Structure 1
Amino acid sequence: MAKKSTKKEKSMEETLWDSANKLRGSVEPSEYKHVVLGLIFLKFASDKFETRREELIAEGQDKFLEMKEFYNMKNVFFLPEHSRWSYIMQQAKQDDIALKIDTALHTIEKNNPALKGALPDNYFSRLGLDKSKLGALLDTINNIDTQKDKDQDIVGRVYEYFLSKFAIAEGKGKGEFYTPKTIVNLIAEMIEPYKGIIYDPACGSGGMFVQSMKFIEAHHGNTKEISIYGQEYTNTTYKLAKMNLAIRGISGNLGEKAANTFADDQHKDLKADYIMANPPFNQKDWRAENELLDDPRWRGYDVPPKSNANYGWILNIVSKLSENGVAGFLLANGALSGGGEEYKIRKTLIENNLVEAIVILPRSMFYTTDISVTLWILNKNKTHHIKTVGDQERVYRDREDEVLFMDLRQIGEPFEKKYIQFSEQHIQEVALTYHNWQQLDNEYENIPEYCASVTKEDIAKKDYSLVPSKYIEFVNRDENIDFDTKMASLQTEMSELLKAETQSKADLLNVFKELGFEIEL
């Protein structure tokens, strides 16, 4: 009897990644991702173009085959002949194939204003990719049938998978263009960006926008009732975001160019209904000593310290919220309890009833850092009101003087060996807890080691700290121990132990030296 194979069959995304990764050679992941994702886009755009072209032929509209208007009207990019995937594959073994690909991408961008600034610019020629390796990569991507199952968003899946793999490959300090999908899903399920304007001031490769659209589709909403605005500082990442939106047919305003959100705000007068963001953590020297002191975004608050941009991001977000706006964004945990100007700004935010929820996430969720981070939810309208999401009408209770604290550090499942992610069930359970706390007719109760609803008065008694462990009950911990104080004590003890170890090594080396032996420890 033949032994049944238990080997898991690789997904299309995994097979493509394995194949493409073998071809990378000496090219850095930060460069290579633009090569691979540019080709995936080119294949996708060509497949859509050919499908529309066949439709025109079937309708007897042959005379309009080379008129871009008859493609754009169906949300299809027009591709001149030498920009089509079929032409590229015909030329795949030629010595100048890299130049032909660069020319194709440049021509597509030139013929489609919506793609302005979106596509890789001379990457293929500049990187000097091995001709045979590039040909093999083209053969690999040629196997993707992007039109096979439109409901499954095949090219979107591939793009998302490659973005995550590149973020992992680039590692600590470099993969900031990508926020792990399950964290973005959690933010979307909690703040429910259903209708109106969505803004992301540090949009990376555009993941927040993509998941917002998926949230709307999952709840049978109309994606045409959403407007997208974003900004991104790094030019190559700005291109990734524009390409990511284009692949999914999402129209968005990412500003005229890649630009610094603080120094060159591309959406100065914007008021957004939903803000979703994962800005860079703990940016130092984000402004000069005398810069942005009178910026209107800080009006009513202290000027954020130049030593750390965290509160600059918070106040930029606050300034962009509409009258009933809600924001969900990520920051390093240090922002929960900083002193100086940060303390004053945090106190004012709490007194102004803007802080709705503080959610601690597990460690090792990010590809760029293993620290635990915080999801902040700010809400311009925490008072009693009615909100419609999909076919649900919700009556919200007055939570103006309360903040919900949640600790998710015991939640999550391992993935890619060393990372943690949320399952769909985790996301739904956390979102349900939050929505039950918000709504008038739903039951909510504090749960030890998980969640606590805390009054503004009690937060004031803790000197406006937003560290969840100060408020959530921990049944296995001495309640008289202050977590921050204990951690500071442990750091001091560890420092002293390391000093003692260094001294012991020095003493031991001296003993051997006196005995006439030279050794290294």
Structure 2
Amino acid sequence: MFADEPPSPVEAGEASPFPDGMLFALADAFRGALDSVETGDIILTMVWALGDPERRSDLTGAILREDWSAAVEVMTSAWPLDAQPGWTRTLVGSGGREQSLQAALQSAAARLGSVILEAERSGGASGVACLFSSALEWLSDREGKRGGEFSTPRTVVELVVALVAPRPGESLFDPFCKSGTLLAGAADAILVAGQDPPPERIAGQTPDTRTWRLADMNLSARGIRNAVGRRAEDPMRVDLYAGDLFDLVLCNPPFNVRWPADPAWSLPQWRYSVPSGKMTNLTWLQLALAKLEVGGRAAVLLPNNAAVSENSAERRARLDLLDSDFVECLVALPAQLFPGTAIPVTLWVLRRGERARAGEVLFVDASELGHMQGRTRRVLRRQDTDRIVAAYRNWSGDAHRDVVGFTESVAVDRLIEFGGDLSPRAHVRPAGTPTGTRAAALAVDQQVARLQILEERILGLDSEIAGQLARLTWKP
């Protein structure tokens, strides 16, 4: 998986603090001793452990003594026994793979140690945090679609954080924080803005043990400890922070998930629609709003079909969200931003309470921005992010002028009359195209939404058929 792929966007890009090909070479050294998932995990764990001076001293000492039990203790002591990664048993075992793993660990510690020391000299603690983020992005890209399930791409994080502009003293929450990339990006922005300690109130919950470990390391590399609730496997039912409200909610949830219907669901966040066994993308918006303080902001990444779905419950939810005047901005992002999938997404910006442009929604069509890095990945450039953020800032500050082909501000009343369809392509008039083509653009988006829904259904049926076939026993 690692040896046959080209360098990832992060490793190949100018922003990577790792020497060219280094992570690729480290992964190759673990080949045979660990599988690809364990290989990525142990490299990230070593970056994290070596990034702290005290842990670095203890870990290098244990490796020099070849005391592998002590090395495991240094790298994993922060996690309970039932959250320990599988490679720890291989490292201290006697099954035949431990010697090659130990040799790879010794080599990796020496090579990573020098890079981490250089990061400390140039950037201090923030340099080490950047190092971990780069390694996490590299791992996400290497794992393809599975990588998108536990991490949000760096350039998308930068856009989300720049749009909501977290400030010192604000509290942060992510109801499905994966490996903590959005929370870490927001915390970095607060540190830069305020030159203060990390925010005191930062919280998230993540769906499984692996992502919990990654999120714990990602945030603790920034001095933020014990921020992530472990194993909220069903965030639609389980709120590990019940009663807590936050200034800022960020979320990149799983797309097009079918949560099973439950008549017991009477939670206050389901103000507009209760998860009903069908696709429930818009429930994430409700969940975000339910956790916001008055005056708070939310940014949620959802597939495009959430803005145009013809499902009656979702359409009703969009109309109710508009009527409550919570929706502030929608940004249509380009396809291929996420590893392993070409599904385009829309960024929703919500605000609970008084808005500077009450009764209006800003639509931004950024679907043609960014540039390709390799055959399958698109990344947003700095100028792309700056252009989107400037449009939002100008609109919020009453300096907005609609830009044909890029932005348009639309009255909420008109959107309700339009049926609650919120695709930016339906409202931003393409350059050189008459206004009347908006209906055609909407029709295209609705057809795309139907195709995405059918694709998800086909994938679900394939999985169900495979499961049924696995249960069959051949009888001659």
TM-score when normalising by structure 2: 0.81
- Pick one of 22, 26, 43 that aligns with 2:28: 22
Q: Is the 8 A contact 1:449 1:472 kept in 2?
A: yes
Q: Which letter maps to 1:432?
A: A
Kindly provide the CA deviation profile for residues 28-48 of structure 1, in whole angstroms up to 9, marking residues without a partner as x: 332222211112222223x24
Greater C-alpha Rg: 1
1:124 aligns with 2:88: yes
> What is the SS of the residue equivalent to 2:206?
coil
Q: Give, as a single letter, the amino acid of the residue that structure 2 aligns with 1:208.
A: L
Quote the offset at 1:254 in angstroms. 1.5
Inter-CA distance 367–246: structure 2 relative to 1 (3 Å threshold)? same
Shift of the alpha carbon at 1:15?
4.3
Work out whether residues 452 and 471 of structure 1, in 8 Å CA contact, stay in contact via their aligned partners in 2: yes
* Cross-structure match for 2:416: 460
Which residue does the alignment assign to 2:339? 367
Determine which of 199, 202, 207 is the counterpart of 1:228: 202
Q: Which amino acid aligns with 1:355?
A: V
* DSSP 3-state at the match of 2:23: helix
Alignment partners' CA distance in 2, 1:225 and 1:260 = 27
Cα separation, 2, equivalents of 1:248 and 1:134? 24
Deviation track 1:229-284 (CA, whole Å, cap 9, x = no partner) reads 10101111101111111112124521255543123210111111101110111112
Paired positions, count: 425
CA contact (8 A) 1:35 1:120 kept: no
Aligned ranges for residues 90-101 of structure 1 at < 5 Å?
Answer: 90-92=64-66, 97=68, 99-101=69-71
Match of 1:379 in 2: 351
Q: What is the CA–CA distance in structure 1 between the aligned matches of 2:263 and 2:28, rounded to whole Å? A: 47
Residue in 1 that maps onto 2:4: none
User: Using the alignment, how far apart are the partners of 2:433 and 2:114 within structure 1?
Assistant: 56
Q: What's 2:104 paired with?
A: 133
Structure 1 pair 434/401, CA: closer, same or farther in 2 (3 Å)? same
Query: Could you tell me which amino acid in structure 1 is paired with residue 238 of structure 2?
Result: D
Change (3 A) 1:220 1:84: same
For 1:436 and 1:492, how far apart are their aligned partners in 2? 34
CA distance in 2, matches of 1:273, 1:175: 26
- Is the CA contact 1:201–1:261 (under 8 Å) kept in the aligned structure 2? yes
Deviations 1:311-348 (Å, cap 9, x if unpaired)?
A: 22121111111111100110001100122111111110
Query: Structure 1 residues 477, 28: closer, same or farther in 2, change over 3 A?
Result: farther
User: Which whole-Å CA distance do the structure 2 matches of 1:358 and 1:453 have between them?
Assistant: 10
The residue identity in structure 2 corresponding to 1:163 is: L
Secondary structure of residue in 2 paired with 1:222: coil
Q: Distance in 2 between matches of 1:134 and 1:122?
A: 15
After superposition, the C-alpha distances for 1:80-121 in whole angstroms (9 at most, x for unaligned) are xxx8123223134xxx73x44323334x42xxxxx6689844
The aligned residue for residue 186 of structure 2 is 212
Distance 2:277 2:323 in 1: 24
Question: 1:367: Cα distance to partner?
Answer: 0.9
1:190 aligned to 158, 163, 176, which one?
A: 163
Spell out the pairing of 1:63-74 with structure 2 (5 A cutoff). Answer: none
Alpha-carbon distance change, 222 to 464 in structure 1, aligned in 2, over 3 angstroms: same
Deviations 1:465-490 (A, max 9, x none): 00112211113446345124346779
Report the counterpart of residue 413 of structure 1 in structure 2: 371
Cα distance per residue 1:171-198 (max 9 Å; x no partner):
1244311101111111111111113211
Question: What is aligned with 2:3?
Answer: none
> What whole-Å deviation, never above 9, does each CA across 1:442-499 have from its counterpart, x for those lacking one?
x210011100000012112211100112211113446345124346779999xxxxxx
Q: Residues of 1 paired with 2:281 and 2:326: CA distance?
A: 16
TM-score, with normalisation over the residues of structure 1?
Answer: 0.75
Among 169, 190, 198, which residue is 2:142 paired with? 169
What's the RMSD between the two structures over aligned residues? 2.9
Deviates more, 1:371-380 or 1:16-25: 16-25
Partner of 2:276: 305
- 1:436, distance to aligned residue in structure 2 (A): 1.0
- Greater mean alpha carbon deviation, residues 9-18 or residues 360-369: 9-18
* CA-CA distance at 1:152 after TM superposition: 7.1
Partner of 2:40: 33
- Aligned-partner Cα distance in 2 for 1:100–1:176: 32
TM-superposed CA distance for 1:365, in Å, is: 0.8
Cα separation, partners in 2 of 1:144 and 1:258, compared to 1, 3 Å: farther
Supply the distance in 1 between the matched residues of 2:13 and 2:162 (Cα, whole angstroms): 31
Unaligned segments of structure 1, at least 5 residues? 1-6, 51-82, 110-114, 384-396, 494-521
List runs of 5+ in structure 2 lacking aligned partners.
Answer: 1-11, 92-96, 452-476
CA distance in structure 1 between the aligned counterparts of 2:80 and 2:165, rounded to whole angstroms: 30
The structure-2 alpha-carbon separation of the partners of 1:23 and 1:469, relative to structure 1 and needing over 3 Å to count, comes to: same
Name the counterpart of 1:318. Answer: 289
Q: Identity of aligned pairs, percent? A: 22
CA distance in 1, matches of 2:353, 2:450: 43
Q: Pick the aligned partner of 2:18 from 12, 15, 22.
A: 12
Q: Quick one: distance in 2 between partners of 1:347 and 1:88?
A: 60
Amino acid at match of 2:18: M
Contact 2:328 2:351 in 1 (8 A): yes
Residues 253-402 of structure 1: pairs in structure 2 closer than 5 A: 253-255=227-229, 257-284=231-258, 286-287=259-260, 289-298=261-270, 300-338=271-309, 339-383=311-355, 397=356, 399-402=357-360
CA drift of 1:168 comes to 1.3
Structure 1 residue 239 and structure 2 residue 246: aligned? no
